[in-house]
Structure formats: structure tokens, C-alpha cells
């Protein structure tokens, strides 16, 4: 009997590291477990990695479209040119399958290839709030609005569109995308976080004399780590170190900020990792200082590691808008500290969390989170 086929599509995949890439990987494992023949389709981006067009990763075939670059391929022609070529490539490469896309480019390419019964799982809302848009240069704003129109088309034409939170639904509505979407829960691989804390701390060279606060993501300004660095700089308690894990264009600025404030010894930078559980288990608390998150897979991972979590409140604060799903996921519970997106409020929450950790008075219980989120459950929901 021939196996049913699943095509998982995204713009990027391994060796790129991120929430979308991880979801593709975890879903592929679940679908294989359920007896499906799984193929992953993505691009060769970023070009500096020089990725091959075909390879087997984790026993799953990975097929990559070679994204075209050239002197005459300028915005928006570069995107349009590649979309039509990508559609042609998918038409030839992807057999009749259950199509599940995690990127708007792949959705449009599927549509152009005549494969229009695709499912789209929205990773983020491209059109950000007005305050954010006003901060952008004209070219970045033009790119955002162009991709916004593509995302709107991808959702409009999809067989079914899924999102991971009400927060995403609210952002889509604010962006003028009013098509029907369905909320599903992402997954969580609990086994990864079973490693012993002491072993992880020893491996990273962490001292028992400090409390370590973890931030793990791509280093861009919107992740808000500048607030964490400034908050630590004004605290009298020097028994705190901030661990920032990831790469990105804003990392140089964060390193410079820590140096200018004279606290380079308290801010530890690590490159992106494919072993995030090592850092979750080694650290004492998790920082969610992001200003905009569609969902926040790192919140689930911090919960899996039983870490206290410090997070900005959702809302509008003077010139800052916070659009995150932390409160939607966690609610109000012991070990979760919400604060306003400013240095003083954040430093107070850090001080309170450290005090509670030192006293051992935090009664953390995330069992409901651990029970709720499962990649197998998500896979079954997508093919139901």
C-alpha cells in the first residue's frame, strides 16, 4: 500500500535555527510516526551558507529551490521573479500531497503551481503596528507592505489557515486581514529538557554565586534585550548575569551597550545554538522582553525547563506597543513576573525574581502547559 504524502514547506530550514524551522522538524517526525511519506521543501537561503539543493536530514528528504540573486534583480522584481520560478519548481518537484506551508512565499508558489488546497500556519503577522511602521526607513516600510500584500493573498487563497494564538488573530485584524483563521496549539518536546541542571551549568562554566537570566532568540532590536542590559546596569545587586543566546544584526549594538555601561562581565553572549535545552536548564530565570511575538515558542520551552519567567505586559505604553501572547499562554501564576516595558519596571521585576529565588519561595507549576502542547496533537489536527 502506497503511503500518503505530506509536503512541509517553508522559506528556510536547517541548518537555519528558529521557531519555524523547529516546527517543521518536529512535525516531520510526527507525520513519519503516523505512517506518512514526508518531504520538506524550502530555499537555499541565506546564500552565504551555500546549501545543496537536495539532501537527507534526519532521514527526511529536504529539497531546496535555489533563490536567484543578480544585479538586475532589485526589489520588488527580485521577489516576483523568484515567486514565479518557485511556482514552476514546485509544480515539477512536489507530488500530489497534503501541503502544509509555514511561509507566505511558499503559499503563493503553491497557488501558482495549481496546488491550491494548501494549509497555511501563520508564523507572524508581517504588517506591524503603526508606531513600529513610523520608525522604519522608506525602503524597509515598502518591503513590509509588499510582503503584507503577499501574506494577505496567501491567507485568502488557503484551504485553511491556522494560527497559534488569539494575539495573532488580533494582529491580523489590525493589519486589515479579516479572513477566517483557526487557533491550534504548537508542540513541546519535553524529553529535551530532562538533562540535569548541574551538568549544564558545569558545561557552560556557570558559578553558583550568580543567578543567570536567559534571553534566547535572534538578536534584533524588537527583542528588547537593550532593556535587560540597562536594567541590570542600574541594579545594586551584582549577583546577576544576563545570558543572551543567538545571532543577528543587533548583537553588535548590544555588546557595545554592555561595554558602555561598564557591565560587560555581567552580560554573557553566546552564538545561536541547536541545543537550547542546555541554556534553559543551566539558567535560573527566563527573560521575555520582546515587543512583538506572534506566539513565543521560547515561553513554552522556559516552562518545560521549570524556569520563572519575566515578561513585558501586553498593551500600549506611551511610545511603546507590546503585542505578545505571554499572558494568553501563562495567565497569572506563581513564578511569572509581568512588568512595563521600561528599565525601572524591569529592574524591579528582576530584583523580585532574584529575591524569591534566593529565598526558595517560588512555587512553580507548569504541568498544564506541558500537558497541553504536543507536536503529535498538532499533526493530527492538521490532517483531520
- Quick one: CA torsion of 317, 318, 321, 324, rounded to 10 degrees? -10
Looking at residue 243, its pLDDT comes to 98
Is beta strand 60-65 parallel, antiparallel or unpaired with respect to 37-43? parallel
Mean pLDDT across the stretch 130-142?
A: 93
Q: What is the mean pLDDT of residues 264-292?
A: 97
Peptide bond into 75 cis (omega under 30): no
The confidence score (pLDDT) of residue 318 equals 85
Bin 55: left if φ > 0, else alpha if -120 < ψ < 50, else beta.
beta
CATH topology assigned to domain 190-369: Rossmann fold (3.40.50)
| pLDDT confidence of residue 3 | 84
Q: What would the mean pLDDT of 236-241 be, rounded to a whole number?
A: 95
> Percent of the chain having pLDDT more than 70?
99
CA 342 to chain centre: 23
pLDDT of 208 higher than 70: yes
* Backbone phi and psi for residue 250, each to the nearest 5 degrees, phi listed first: -95, -5
Spatial separation of the C-alpha atoms in residues 16 and 104, rounded to whole Å: 18
Give the pLDDT confidence score for residue 319 in this predicted structure: 85
Residues 6+ apart with CB under 8 A from 136: 144
Report whether pLDDT(349) > 70.
yes
Q: Any idea which of 65-74, 157-166, 288-297 has the lowest mean pLDDT?
A: 65-74
The pLDDT value recorded for residue 384 is 87
Confidence of residue 290 (pLDDT cuts 50, 70, 90): very high
> What residues contact 142, with CB distance under 8 A and at least 6 apart?
75
Using DSSP's 3-state secondary structure scheme, residue 351 falls into: helix
What single string gives the DSSP state of each residue in 190-235? GGGG-S-HHHHHHHHT--TTSEEEEEES---GGG-HHHHHHHHHT-
Place of cell 489590525: 174
Alpha-carbon gap, residue 201 to 212, rounded angstroms: 10
The single residue listed with the C-alpha cell 486581514 is 177
HSE-up of residue 156 (Cα within 13 Å, Cβ side): 10
What are the respective helix, strand and coil percentages of the chain, to the nearest 5?
45, 20, 40
Strand order from edge to edge, sheet including 119-121: 54-57, 60-65, 37-43, 5-9, 98-101, 119-121, 160-163, 182-183
The pLDDT-based confidence of 1 (bands split at 50, 70, 90) is low
Q: How far apart are CA 48 and CA 57, in angstroms?
A: 19
Stated pTM of the model: 0.94
Q: Is the pLDDT of residue 43 over 70?
A: yes
Q: How many CA atoms lie within 13 A of 126 on its CB side?
A: 21
In the predicted model, what is the mean pLDDT of residues 154-183? 97
pLDDT score of 320: 92
- SS3 assignment, position 298: helix
Determine the average pLDDT of the residues in 1-13: 92
Task: Express each pLDDT in 84-100 by its tens digit.
Answer: 999 999 999 999 999 99
Average per-residue pLDDT for the chain: 96
Strands 285-288 and 211-216: parallel
Residue 198: count of CB within 10 angstroms of its CB = 12
- CA dist 96 and 141 (Å) reads 37
Tell me whether residue 8 is exposed, middle or buried, using C-beta atoms within 10 angstroms of its C-beta: 0 to 12, 13 to 18, 19 or more. Answer: buried
Q: In whole angstroms, give the CA distance from residue 77 to residue 71.
A: 11
Q: Which three cell numbers stand for residue 276?
A: 537550547
| Confidence at residue 70, expressed as pLDDT on a 0 to 100 scale | 82
CATH 3.40.50.2000 in the chain: give the residue spans: 5-184, 190-369
Residue 72 in this model has a pLDDT that exceeds 80: no
What is the DSSP-derived secondary structure letter of residue 236? S
Mean of pLDDT values over 268-277: 96
Closest-CA residue to 313 (of 295, 340, 337, 334): 340
Whether the per-residue pLDDT at 73 is higher than 80: the answer is no
199 vs 281: CA distance, rounded Å: 9
> Mean pLDDT over residues 273-279, rounded?
95
> Is domain 5-184 annotated with CATH 1.10.10.60?
no
Indicate whether 102 pLDDT > 80. Answer: yes
Amino acid at each position: 500500500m502506497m503511503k500518503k504524502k505530506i509536503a512541509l514547506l517553508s522559506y528556510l530550514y536547517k541548518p537555519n535555527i528558529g521557531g519555524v524551522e523547529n516546527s517543521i522538524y518536529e512535525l516531520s517526525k510526527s507525520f513519519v510516526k503516523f505512517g506518512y511519506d514526508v518531504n520538506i521543501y524550502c530555499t537555499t537561503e541565506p546564500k552565504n551558507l551555500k546549501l545543496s539543493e537536495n539532501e537527507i536530514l534526519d532521514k527526511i528528504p529536504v529539497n531546496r529551490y535555489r533563490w536567484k540573486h543578480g544585479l538586475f534583480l532589485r526589489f520588488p522584481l527580485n521577489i516576483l521573479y523568484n515567486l514565479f520560478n518557485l511556482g514552476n519548481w514546485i509544480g515539477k518537484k512536489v507530488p500530489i500531497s497534503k501541503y502544509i506551508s509555514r511561509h507566505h512565499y511558499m503559499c503563493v508558489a503553491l497557488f501558482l503551481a495549481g496546488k491550491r488546497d494548501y494549509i497555511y500556519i501563520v508564523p507572524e503577522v508581517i504588517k506591524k503596528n503603526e508606531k513600529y511602521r513610523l520608525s522604519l526607513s522608506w525602503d524597509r516600510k515598502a518591503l513590509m507592505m509588499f510582503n503584507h500584500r503577499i501574506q494577505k493573498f496567501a491567507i485568502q487563497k488557503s484551504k485553511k489557515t491556522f494560527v497559534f494564538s488569539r494575539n495573532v488573530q488580533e494582529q491580523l485584524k489590525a493589519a486589515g486581514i479579516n479572513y477566517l483563521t483557526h487557533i491550534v496549539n504548537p508542540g513541546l518536546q519535553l524529553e529535551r529538557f530532562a538533562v540535569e541542571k548541574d551538568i549544564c551549568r558545569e558545561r557552560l562554566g556557570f558559578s553558583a554565586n550568580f543567578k543567570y537570566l536567559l534571553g534566547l532568540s535572534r538578536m534584533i532590536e524588537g527583542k528588547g534585550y537593550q532593556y535587560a542590559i540597562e536594567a541590570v546596569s542600574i541594579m545594586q545587586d551584582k549577583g546577576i548575569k544576563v545570558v543572551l543566546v543567538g545571532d543577528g544584526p543587533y548583537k553588535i549594538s548590544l555588546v557595545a551597550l554592555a561595554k558602555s555601561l561598564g557591565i560587560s562581565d555581567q552580560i554573557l553572549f553566546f552564538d545561536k545554538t541547536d541545543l537550547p535545552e542546555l541554556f534553559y536548564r543551566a539558567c535560573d530565570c527566563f527573560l521575555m522582553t520582546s515587543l512583538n511575538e506572534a506566539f513565543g515558542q521560547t515561553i513554552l520551552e522556559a516552562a518545560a525547563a521549570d524556569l520563572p519567567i519575566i515578561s513585558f505586559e501586553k498593551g500600549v505604553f506611551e511610545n511603546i506597543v507590546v503585542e505578545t501572547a505571554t499572558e494568553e499562554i501563562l495567565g497569572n501564576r506563581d513564578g511569572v513576573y509581568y512588568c512595563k516595558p521600561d528599565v525601572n519596571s524591569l529592574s524591579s521585576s528582576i530584583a523580585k525574581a532574584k529575591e524569591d529565588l534566593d529565598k526558595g519561595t517560588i512555587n512553580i507549576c507548569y504541568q498544564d502547559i506541558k500537558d497541553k502542547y504536543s507536536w503529535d496533537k498538532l499533526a493530527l489536527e492538521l490532517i483531520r
